[in-house]
Every structure is written in structure tokens, then in C-alpha cells.
Amino acid sequence: MANEHVQEFTDDNFEQEVLQADQPVLVDFWAEWCMPCKMLAPTIDEVAGAFSGKAKVGKVDTDSNRNVSMKYGINAIPTVLLFKGGEVTKKFVGLTNRNDLEAAINEAIA
């Protein structure tokens, strides 16, 4: 992970870290070989820093964590899902700008 504020979510910890979280969780589904995913990474890092303590931000490597990826129907990456109370409240597919991600998190926090 490029940033201490960005967590790594896996098939094993997704339930506890994302679905049972007591704050909104932004999850970036990505893969090492995906160029748009690499282009989105700095934005995810910035959002994670901006919302430290208010929302969790993390990544799921779709190659290593197929169960979670299949459960949420991830068929294009990058895909960013925002969870609140264990439910998906927003979905972004493809490159997404920081303003849109931050607006979604602010809405979830409110």
C-alpha cells in the first residue's frame, strides 16, 4: 500500500473490516496489471488521508481476492464501492475524480 491510511481488504477480513465497520468504507477494487487502477491510486491515497478517522479507505486486489470481487459483481476495474452499515451506497466504475469520491463520503458521514 502506498499510504498508511489505505488498508488492504481481503476475502478473509472483508466481513469484519468493511461490512461490520461503524463508519463509511470506501473500497477500491483493483489489480496490479490495470493501468487505470494505477492512475486512480494517488486519488485513493489523497481521499484516505483527507478522511482519516472519519471513514475507512482500502483496496481489494481482485486477482488475489476473487470471492469478494465476485460477490459484488466486479467485472470492470477500477471499481470503487462505498459501504455504509454493511450495504453498498455508491458505485463508481472507471477513473473517478477526488471530488466525486469525497462528496459521496461526506454524504455517507452526514
Domains contained in the chain, number: 1
Q: Which residue has the higher pLDDT, 86 or 3?
A: 86
Instruction: Write the pLDDT tens digit of every residue in 11-70.
Output: 999 999 999 999 999 999 999 999 999 999 999 999 999 999 999 999 999 999 999 999
- Examine the pLDDT at 110 and tell me if it is beyond 70: yes
What was the pLDDT predicted at 1?
A: 45
Q: Residue 43 is part of a domain; what is its CATH number?
A: 3.40.30.10
Catalytic residue among 10, 17, 31, 34: 34
CA 99 to chain CA mean position, Å: 15
Asked if 49 and 102 touch (Cβ cutoff 8 Å), the reply is no
Residue 1 belongs to some domain of the structure: no
Residue 39 belongs to some domain of the structure: yes
Residue 31 belongs to some domain of the structure: yes
Q: Exposed, middle or buried by CB within 10 Å (0-12, 13-18, 19+), for 60? A: buried
Catalytic residue among 6, 25, 26, 37: 37
The answer to whether residue 93 is catalytic is no
What was the pLDDT predicted at 36?
A: 97
The answer to whether residue 14 is catalytic is no
Residue 2 belongs to some domain of the structure: no
Query: What range does the domain containing 13 cover?
Result: 8-109
Instruction: Write the pLDDT tens digit of every residue in 76-103.
Output: 999 999 999 999 999 999 999 999 999 9
Residue 96 belongs to some domain of the structure: yes
Residue 26 belongs to some domain of the structure: yes
